[in-house]
Amino acid sequence: SLSDRLGGVFDRLRGRGALTEADVRGAMREVRIALLEADVALPVARAFVDKVTEAAVGQNVLRSVTPGQQVVKIVNDALVEMLGSDSADLDIDVTPPAVVMMVGLQGSGKTTTTAKLSRLVKKRGKKVLMASLDVNRPAAQEQLAVLGTQAEVATLPIVQGQQPVDIARRALQSAKLQGFDVVMLDTAGRLHVDQALMDEMKAVADIAKPNEILLVVDSLTGQDAVNVATNFSQQVPLTGVVLTRMDGDARGGAALSMRAVTGKPIKFAGVGEKLDAIEPFHPSRVAGRILGMGDVVSLVERAAEAIQADDAEKMASRLAKGQFDMNDLRSQLAQMRRMGGLGALAGMIPGMKKAQAAMAASNMDDRILLRMDAMIGSMTVKERARPELLNAKRKIRVAKGSGTTVQDVNKLLKMHQEMATAMKRIKKMGGIKGLAAMLG
Ligand code: GDP
Ligand code: MG
């Protein structure tokens, strides 16, 4: 993945005392290849690399004390800037009804996203009406109606035989008559961009005068997504982008291209099939993922939902200091159980992948979480705070006390070591500055 590639590149840079210019150029070549492999559009990758190279040279990285860190920071800043430096919200605080129109290819997630966003907006106290203008696909309008029932959001009654423009007109009329604040228009997609689709969209936009036209793009579609974005943004005045399937593997690449090609903010990220699986798009988080720092902010936020706020703050400030002892591991294990087991945290902490691979290799499953908890329970207070105290004799005692083996204890210590190293790495890279403040 892009994260792994860039992580590898910078890990190598980080190990150096001093960088030669060839190192920087070499690293940037790899960055470019990694971006291309992650389906970032060629011109976007080129522009990005040029920008970063220029910034690196300008800042005299070659003579700095910690060149690797400096390059990582420059790349990070460039990524955040390119992704859009702030998270953007829906622009719907207008004289009602505000109109939000979703456009995009078939299967990109328009209908799902329409329901997700409607649910969000409704939760903020607005009266929302959804309408499906998809008369191409059989049962498309019913699909939205079903989602409406699930999301407890009103949908426009279906009238067979109406054209999209007529449905849009009817939706606006109903909204005005019944006092809806927001009308969400879900449009039809096509397998490929074609003129009939574009004409239909333009006609609807003329009638509905949307406050928002959101392009919904599947983040897994790669290079093709860039062509789609180019086409749509040339034909309709987009106001933003929603990237779906960000719960999948392709993180970062599509986001980078979308932003560069459309020039519009990525407003939301779809992170699953369920109706609550949508998040505001956070450029700094995605940049962090791309750089292989893991998504520490998301991790802590999710942990905060599962544990008490006090604990979360304590954990955040410990993480910020790069501290991670057996007590921290123990509360992490408890959270893992609460947050749905080992799989749920994959990729969220740098170094976790390694730790998980180690566990997978030894045929461990989620039951291991309970056994690890038992092992930590058998340690003394001192041992928990300073695991390096665990010599052979103490390990035998812990194994006996927890009904495990010394081998198991060693595996636990190895996992702790991986995670502690990861925490130190985050700290060094300054990746979670302001984390505690964000939680408070
Ligand atoms: P449309 O043709 O653009 O209206 O696409 P749909 O909304 O019908 O979505 C197509 C499929 O993608 C459905 O099975 C959705 O559940 C799924 N989907 C949509 N958004 C996401 C997402 O963010 N993550 C995942 N994993 N699946 C999604
Ligand atoms: Mg649809």
* Length of the chain measured in residues: 440
Atom of ligand 1 nearest to the CA of 269: 23
Return the number of other C-beta atoms located less than 10 Å from residue 334's C-beta: 15
Cα of 140 to ligand 2 centre, how many Å?
Answer: 6
What was the pLDDT predicted at 425? 64
- Give me the percent of the chain exceeding a pLDDT of 90: 37
Quick check: 31 and 47 in contact, CB under 8 A? Answer: no
- For residue 242 and ligand 1, the question of a CB distance below 6 A is answered with no
User: Of all protein residues, whose CA lies closest to atom 19 belonging to ligand 1?
Assistant: 109
Residue 224 has pLDDT above 90, yes or no: no
CA dist., res. 372 & res. 71, Å (int): 38
Q: How far, in Å, are 71, 77, 240 from residue 89 at the CA level?
A: 31, 22, 9
Which tokens is 30 given? 């790899």
Whether 22 has a pLDDT exceeding 50, the answer reads: yes
Give the number of other Cβ atoms within 10 Å of residue 298's Cβ. 16
**Confidence at residue 137, expressed as pLDDT on a 0 to 100 scale:** 83
Higher pLDDT, 320 or 287: 287
380 token code pair: 């003394």
What is the rounded CA–CA span in Å between residue 375 and residue 377?
5
Of the candidates 256, 259, 250, the residue with the CA atom closest to the CA atom of residue 218: 250
Measured in angstroms, how far is the CA atom of residue 273 from the centroid of ligand 1? 6
Residue written as token pair 């800043």: 77
Tell me what the mean pLDDT of segment 54-69 comes to.
57
CA dist., res. 162 & res. 147, Å (int): 21
CA angle 175, 130, 178 (to 5 degrees): 20
80: pLDDT confidence band, cut at 50, 70 and 90? confident
CA atoms within 13 A on the CB side of 167: 27
Number of the ligand closest to the Cα of 188: 2
Angle at 110 between CA 134 and CA 298, to 5 degrees: 165
Q: Name the pLDDT band for 87 (thresholds 50, 70, 90).
A: low
Lowest mean pLDDT among 44-58, 235-249, 328-342: 328-342
CB under 8 Å to 170, separation ≥6 — which residues?
131, 156, 159, 162
pTM: 0.66
The residue whose CA is least distant from atom 25 of ligand 1 is 272
Query: Average pLDDT, stretch 217-232?
Result: 82
Phi-psi region of 92 (alpha: psi -120 to 50; beta: other; left: phi over 0): alpha
The answer to whether residues 192 and 199 touch, using CB atoms and an 8 Å cutoff, is: no
Domains of the chain: 2-83 (1.20.120.140), 98-282 (3.40.50.300), 296-439 (1.10.260.30)
For position 152, what pLDDT does the model report? 96
Residue 344's alpha-carbon distances to 242, 302, 317, 366, 423, in angstroms, are 23, 11, 23, 11, 19
Indicate whether 90 pLDDT > 50: yes
- pLDDT of the residue at 200: 92
Structure tokens at 284: 């700094």
Phi, psi of 240, deg, nearest 5: -175, 175
Residue with tokens 């029932």: 149
| Residue 264 CA to ligand 2 centre (angstroms) | 22
Q: Does residue 311 register a pLDDT over 60?
A: no
Q: Which ligand is nearest to the CA of 138?
A: 2
Q: Are strands 266-270 and 154-155 parallel, antiparallel or unpaired?
A: unpaired
The DSSP output letter for 158 is P
Q: For position 382, what pLDDT does the model report?
A: 92
Torsional class of 60: left (φ above 0), alpha (ψ -120 to 50), beta (otherwise): left
Pocket flag, ligand 1, residue 112 (CB < 6 Å) = yes
Look at 11-15, 92-96, 255-259, 387-391 and tell me which has the smallest mean pLDDT: 11-15
CB 245 near ligand 1, within 6 Å: yes
**Separation of alpha carbons 122 and 117, rounded Å:** 8
CA–CA separation, 100 and 211 (whole Å): 6
pLDDT at 348: 47
HSE at residue 172, side-chain half, CA atoms within 13 A, is: 17
Q: Say whether 189 counts as a known binding-site residue.
A: yes
Question: Which pLDDT belongs to residue 206?
Answer: 95
Q: Is the CB of 110 under 6 A from ligand 1?
A: yes
Mean pLDDT of the chain, nearest integer: 78
- Other CB atoms within a 10 A radius of the CB of residue 79 amount to 23
In percent, the amount of the chain with pLDDT more than 70 equals 69
Mean pLDDT for 252-272 is 86
If DSSP codes are grouped into helix, strand and coil, which group holds residue 348?
Answer: coil
